Amino acid sequence: MSSTTISPDADLITLVNVFTVTPGRQTELADALDRATRDVFLAVPGFVSANLHVSLDGRRVVNYAQWAGEEQYEEALRRTDVRAHIGQVAAIAEAYDPTLVRVRSVHHGRQA
């Protein structure tokens, strides 16, 4: 089982997708993303992990998803089941901004 590794040394790419939702739909969107991760993405080659974050103001959901590489991510986008998921989530969200990134650096605070 893979886990999230946030390190500039990890040979991974990360999808950071910030979704905006109308007030009251944040849970619906997060539930849809959770379902898609369990039902679709866990079986997609190259998928490593997904971490969902919900904003305290109830207006955003952030998906931090790691992939083995850009090619695997692009291949996933061509799959029918993945396209169906994207359509379902797009119908809930007001807007979304998917961005592929690499970890550049990691900093940790001093422990008391």
pLDDT tens digit sequence for 57-108: 999 999 999 999 999 999 999 999 999 999 999 999 999 999 999 999 999 9
| 12-65 pLDDT per residue, tens | 999 999 999 998 999 999 999 999 999 999 999 999 999 999 999 999 999 999
Host H or E run for residue 61? strand 60-67
In a domain, 109, yes or no: no
Residue 34 CA to residue 24 CA, distance in Å, equals: 17
Tell me which residue range forms the domain holding 39.
13-101
Domains identified in the chain, total number: 1
On the question of pLDDT at 1 being above 80, the answer is no
Question: Is residue 111 very low, low, confident or very high in pLDDT (cuts 50, 70, 90)?
Answer: confident
- Asked if the structure places residue 21 within a domain, the reply is yes
Domain with residue 82: its CATH number is 3.30.70.100
- Domain assignment present for 87: yes
7 domain-assigned? no
Residues 6+ apart with CB under 8 A from 51: 4, 63, 64, 65
Q: Is residue 18 part of a domain?
A: yes
Residue 30 lies in a domain: yes
Is position 26 within any domain?
A: yes
| Residue at 6 is within a domain | no
